[in-house]
Structure 1
Amino acid sequence: MSQRERITGDSATTSAFKRRFMRRLVFVLAGGMFLDGYILGIVGPVTGSLTADLGLSTLWEGLIAAAPLFGIFFGSPAGGWAADRFGRKPLFMVDMGLFVVASGLQFFVDSPELLFVVRLMMGLAIGMEYSVGWPLMSEFAPAELRGRLLGVTLIAWYTGFMVAFALGYWLAHSTTLGWRVILGTSTLLAVVLFVARFGLPESPRWLWNQGRKDEAMAVAHRYMAHAAEMSDVEHEDTEKGTFKMLFSRRYWRATLFVSMFWFCAVAPYFAIATFADSVLGQYGLGGGLAGGVGLSAVALSAVILTVLLIDKVGRRVLTVPPQWICTVLLAVIGLWAGAPPAAVLTLFLAFSFFNAMVGTLTGVYPGEVFPTEVRCVGTGFAAAVSRIGAGLGTFLLPWAMVNLGPATSMLIAAGIAFVGAALSQWLAPETKGKSLTEAAAGFSH
Structure 2
Amino acid sequence: MSSTRSKSIPADSPESTRRKRRFLVRLTAVLIGGMFLDGYILGIVGTVISRISTDLSFTPLWEGLIVASTLIGILVGSPIGGWLGDKFGRKPLFMIDMGLFVVGSALQFFIDEPWQLFVVRLVMGIAIGIEYSVGWPMMSEFAPARMRGRLMGLTLVAFYAGFMTAFLVGYALTTTTSVDWRVILGSSTILAVILFIARIGLPESPRWLWSKGRHDEAQALAHRYLLDFDDMSDVEHEHQRKGKFSDLFSQRYWRATLFTSMFWLCAVTPYFAIATFAESVLESYGLSQGLAGGVGLSALATAGVILTVILVDRVGRRVLTVPPQYVCFALLAIIGLWAGAPAWVVLVCFLAFSFLNAGYNTLTGIYPAEVFPTEIRGVGTGFATAVSRIGAGAGTFLLPYSMENFGAQATMLMAAGLTLLGAMLSHWLAPETKGKTLTETAVGFSH
- TM-score between both structures, scaled by the size of structure 1: 0.95
How many Å separate the matches in 2 of 1:293 and 1:101? 33
State the partner residue of 2:6. Answer: none
The answer as to 2:440 corresponding to 1:442 is no
Q: How does 1:226-237 map to 2 (within 5 A)?
A: 226-237=228-239
Give the drift of 1:397: 2.2
Q: What is the letter of the counterpart of residue 264 of structure 1?
A: C
Aligned twin of 2:75: 73
- Distance in 2, Cα, partners of 1:179 & 1:144: 45
Percent identical among aligned pairs is 68
What residue number does 1:4 align with? none
Q: Residue deviations 1:329-366, cap 9 Å, x none?
A: 11111112133333222211111101001110011101
Partner residue of 1:331? 333
What CA deviation, in whole Å up to 9, does each residue of 1:373-423 have, x standing for no partner? 100000000000001101111102221111121111111111111110000
Segments of 5+ residues of structure 1 without an aligned counterpart are 1-6
Kindly indicate whether residue 60 of structure 2 is the aligned counterpart of residue 34 of structure 1: no
The equivalent of 1:322 in structure 2 is 324
1:443 Cα offset (Å) = 1.9
Paired residue type of 2:163? F
Distance (whole Å) between structure 1 residues aligned to residue 199 and residue 45 of structure 2? 27
Gaps of 5+ in 2: 1-8
In structure 2, the residue matched to 1:57 is 59
User: Which residue does the alignment assign to 2:272?
Assistant: 270
Give how far 1:284 is off: 7.3
* Match of residue 123, structure 1, among 122, 125, 144: 125
Q: Is the 8 A contact 1:34 1:157 kept in 2?
A: yes
Residue aligned with 1:43, SS: helix
| Structure 2 counterpart of 1:143, from 142, 145, 156 | 145
Letter in 2 for 1:209: S
What amino acid is the match of 2:429? Answer: L
Q: Is the 1:144–1:433 Cα contact (8 Å) retained in structure 2?
A: yes
Report deviation, 1:274. 4.6
- The TM-score, its normalising length taken from structure 2, stands at 0.95
Q: Is the aligned partner of 1:345 residue 2:347?
A: yes
Report the equivalent of 1:354.
356
Give the alignment partner of residue 388 of structure 2, picking from 378, 382, 386: 386
In structure 2, the CA distance between the partners of 1:293 and 1:30, relative to structure 1 (3 Å rule), is farther
Amino acid at match of 1:380: G
Higher mean Cα deviation, 66-75 or 342-351? Answer: 342-351
Measured after TM superposition, the shift of residue 182 of structure 1 is 0.8
Shift of 1:276: 3.3
CA RMSD of aligned residues (A): 1.7
Deviation at 1:153, TM superposition (A): 0.3
Alpha-carbon distance between aligned partners in 2 of 1:211 and 1:66, rounded to the nearest angstrom: 41
SS where residue 445 of structure 2 aligns?
helix
Work out whether residues 8 and 222 of structure 1, in 8 Å CA contact, stay in contact via their aligned partners in 2: no
- Paired residue for 2:105? 103
Aligned counterpart for 2:187 among listed residues 185, 188, 195: 185
* Alignment check: 8 A CA contact 2:111 2:182 kept: yes
The answer to whether structure 1 residue 200 and structure 2 residue 205 are counterparts is no
Distance, in Å, in 2 between the alignment partners of 1:399 and 1:384 is 23
Task: After TM superposition, give the deviation of residue 270 of structure 1 in Å.
Answer: 2.0
Inter-partner Cα distance in structure 2 for 1:284 and 1:334? 19
* 1:67 to 1:113, Cα distance in 2 relative to 1, 3 A: same
Counterparts in 2 of 1:113 and 1:359: CA distance versus 1, 3 Å: same
